[in-house]
Structure 1
Amino acid sequence: MDTAWLAQRIADPSARGIAAALTDLIREGTVTAQTRLPTVRGLARELGVSSGTVADAWAELRKHGMIRTERRRGTVVLGPPEVPRPIRYERLGHWGDRLAIDLTIASPDTALLPPLEAALAAAARADGLNDYARATITPRLRAAVEPDWPFHAEGWLAVGGGYEAVQLLCQTAALPGDRIAIEEPTGARLLDILERVGVQIVPVACDEHGPIPGALEKALRARPVAFVYQPRGQSPCGHAVTPARSAELAELLEPAKTLIVEDDGIGELSVSPMVSMGARFPGRTVLVRSYSKSHGPDLRIAVIGGAADAVERVRVLRSFGTGWTSRILQDTLAHLLGDAGVRERVAHAREVYARRRARLAAELAARGVRTGGGDGLVLWVPVHDEPAALVTLAAHGISVAPGSRYVVEPAAAHHLRLATARLTDDPDELSALADVIALAATGGRRLSAAT
């Protein structure tokens, strides 16, 4: 593309104006796919602006999938803007219908979920239904969750699931270009969310006890507006933050003004006690607790409890859309939480999930593959070569999630994430499964200590 030709079609030489002008040209077909754009410096010189202004415009176009920068060809046009997609989450596995064992998605075992009929019927008979008054959280649900909350929450809100809660908290805490610190590895969907929000992701390395203090200290130098982590049942690694580690992290967060977002993704299914920083920082900590895996995915409910300002910002943003979560679903969950039989059923599910995870971990350890972690519904499995391991497992009819989807930058060590909630309870079948996973993990080699 001729630099002068493009410059003549840009009336507003700001970053927003440059991006808007090129977007119009791409939409109307004047600029077609595979067109090579001028260099940042060349266009900046022609427009009489800084290179940073053009680079910001290119970044905006890149975010919407309209251009791509290639090493040799420079920056080329891909086409009209696309609907943003959760790329990492959507690519967790597309192996066709022939695979017999799906260990990709950490979904609950439906046989272990409590029945919903009685709870739904009771909730449908509640007073105050079909009223457009927006209920942040129903009195019954708040009364059911508040006694087990690990700190005094200033604000409460029921939303449509854990990831929606985390997305809304990040979206309302950060402006595009702000920084948010997250533990790494972390949830693939969380990485998709943060990229969509337009923030800079600051990774915090973890070990068996959660985020490493030194890594958090380094991340805080970037002045992130929020720190998002999972205190227990961490996905994908399965670690849980200990009281000692939490105290170390709190010391580092004390002088900062960073919002602390605690994602309790599996809630009552965790075998680890909840250790929250909310008791120390009630005015800047928000806990998100999801009930989808413990009480039913179709309830689509998570509860946000914590810092009043952060919760209120989420409430205001939701008022542009759904406004509130169905009172029927909220009180259905409240009924389940208050039912002694349901509590026993959830406790039984917790034991079953822990046993399935531990058995596969033990089988793999016996074959020289040590997974680490002791909580959650997944295993983080070290492998010699991720692509080769995926192919080996697929050839045996097994689908898993590639570990590269859970990190910001390519990691030195390769991993796979295996969902364990629906594993077989048959010892022989589990042994055969472990044989294949170990074969895929080692590729016939001994894994090094670094993995």
Structure 2
Amino acid sequence: MSARRETETVDKAWAAGPQGAARLAGRIVDPSARGVAAAMTDLIRSGELAPGSALPTVRGLAVELGVSPGTVAEAWAVLRRHRMITTLGRRGSVVSGPPSVPHPARYERVGDLGSHLTLDLAVAAPDPALLPELADALLAGARTPQLNDYSRTAITAGLLDAVRDTWPFEAEAWTAVGGGYEGVQLLCQALIVPGDRVAVEDPTAARLLDILEALDAQIVPVACDAEGPLPGSLAQALERRPALFLHQSRAQAPCGWTVGEERAAALAKVLETAPNVMVLEDDGIGPLAADPVASIGTHLPGRTVLVRSYSKAYGPDLRIAVIGGPREVVERARVLRTFGTGWTSRILQDALAHLLTDDAATRCVQAAAHRYDLRREGLAGRLARRGVPTANRDGLMLWVPVADEASALVTLAARGVTVSPGSRFCVAYALPHVRIATSRLTDDGAALDGTAELIALAAMASTGRLD
């Protein structure tokens, strides 16, 4: 081994083992959890503790510092939260690198087909051609009574009037936020702390899993059927004492179910046995959904908060969602926003209020919902005739079973088609799937036939069988 390689090995091991614990303790002036985390951060930033460096055990460092193991464990938790160290179970912990921002790994695109891409079926975005015109709505928004007032308006009177009667339960408080996922993220920040367990339907929207992982939550999967989360599986999840149950109430991504009244009541009955668990419902498709929403909040209004997004129905540039629920919970989300934007533009809020109450805009959204259904069902029917069953009843996508996920992705990519790998949407991944976005499919039957043929080919491809 060269001298340089030997030096690198020594450098990465200087904090490992009993002697390393003593050396590291000598560099820590303040033995509190905050002081340990700060000293470690300085060493990692400076490069003295390089990526890959092994660290002493929590107990070993605690002994050298004369503190409880819990103090060091708390510091380690801070370092993990900022992606500075990684714990490898019984193999201990190693340095990952300087503080970094967590990336939404599931949401970020995997791979880049560049000019080879001919058909993007990965992004379930609304079709711009089916969105209502915004010109009149924006003019209406510009006439908001508090235009350019610097007071922080959680929700304008016009928007509240437009949404209140559509809510499935009586909410104590409301606020408008910049899209559905921002609403979910704010509420998760408000309701959980790092290390909390969160019960989540499985599979679920990829971005919901990204949000929970970024907040260092422990995800507890809840199994589902065609009607939504299973009460029995939720009961099992509650045995692990989660702080929150997060689920999508209708047009669920990726499976396209909507929770009905009977299932909502059954879930509420299970939740009655765990009075400390809050319920967060994500209605990501809003007015485009085919079925009315059935909410756990109808039965447990004091413990349920609903986020409804209007971006897919009225346009992503509106960036509007509404939160409605218990006053204390909504207030926590509002307070978190005061550290940043403070409030959602009153122009955009009242523009949405105009759209929600305008007959022409309502007809446009209804027509769009019908077209989306035709596209989804058109592809689903063609896949079924080719031996590929799907079960989505609503939404902008299909959840397609495949023989092998990797082979399906490669088969489609080789033909210029990109889809989303199903593993992104799962906690306990069992049967392989891919998610196909259907919202921007062509209405041309021959083209749909060709798309179905490609997807069916990919669905049946498996490792070792590809030509």
Match of 1:312 in 2: 331
Query: Does the 8 Å contact 2:408/2:462 carry over to 1?
Result: no
* Cα shift at 1:40: 4.1
Q: Distance in 2 between matches of 1:140 and 1:33?
A: 54
Instruction: Tell me which residue corresponds to 1:259.
Output: 278
Among 135, 154, 179, the residue aligned to 2:172? 154
Q: TM-score by structure 2 length?
A: 0.90
Task: Select 1:124's aligned residue among 139, 142, 145.
Answer: 142
The worse-fitting range, judged by mean Cα deviation, of 162-171 and 50-59 is: 50-59
Alignment root-mean-square deviation, CA: 1.9
Aligned residue in 2 for 1:324: 343
Residues 214 and 123 of structure 1: CA distance in aligned 2, closer, same or farther (over 3 Å): same
Q: 1:63 to 1:95 in 2, by over 3 A?
A: farther
Q: Is residue 154–residue 343 contact of structure 2 (8 Å, CA) maintained in 1?
A: yes
Alignment-mate amino acid for residue 318 of structure 1: R
Aligned twin of 1:80: 98
Within a 5 Å distance, the mapping from 1:181-260 to structure 2 comes to 181-257=199-275, 258-260=277-279
Post-superposition shift, 1:70?
5.3
1:347-386 equivalences under 5 Å are: 347-386=366-405
Cα deviation, residue 139, structure 1: 0.8
Match of residue 3 from structure 2: none
Residue 205 of structure 2 contacts residue 254 of structure 2 at CA under 8 Å; is this kept in 1?
yes
Preserved contact between residue 84 and residue 96 of structure 2 (Cα < 8 Å): yes
The answer (yes or no) to whether the contact 1:92–1:104 under 8 Å persists in 2 is: no
What CA distance in whole angstroms lies between the structure 2 residues aligned with 1:353 and 1:437? 19
Q: Secondary structure at the match of 2:298?
A: coil
- Aligned residue among 439, 442, 450 for 1:432: 450
Change (3 A) 1:101 1:291: same
Work out the CA distance in 2 between the residues paired with 1:209 and 1:335: 34
Letter in 2 for 1:343: T
Matched, 1:408 2:427: yes
**AA in 2 matched with 1:398:** V
2:353 is aligned with 1:334:
yes
Task: Tell me the SS of whatever aligns to 2:147.
Answer: coil
CA apart distance, 1:47: 3.6
Aligned residue in 1 for 2:50: 32
Percentage identity across paired residues of the two chains: 60
CA distance in 2, matches of 1:51, 1:366: 61
Give the letter for the 1:265 counterpart. Answer: G
Mapped contact 1:93–1:104 kept (Cα < 8 A): no
* Partner secondary structure for residue 344 of structure 1: helix
Check conservation: 1:93, 1:400, Cα contact below 8 A: no
For residues 71 and 101 of structure 2, the distance between their equivalents in structure 1, rounded to whole angstroms, comes to 25
Check whether the contact 2:301–2:325 (CA below 8 A) recurs between aligned residues.
Answer: yes
Q: What secondary structure is seen at the aligned counterpart in 1 of 2:116?
A: coil
Q: Unpaired runs of 5+ in structure 1?
A: 446-451
For 1:60, the aligned partner's letter is V
Aligned 8 A contact 1:269 1:294 in 2: yes
Distance 1:435 1:52, change over 3 A: farther
Cα drift, residue 344 of structure 1 = 0.5
TM-score, L = length of structure 1: 0.93
CA distance in 2, matches of 1:362, 1:255: 42
How far is 1:137 from its partner?
A: 0.8
Partner of 1:107: 125
Letter in 1 for 2:330: V
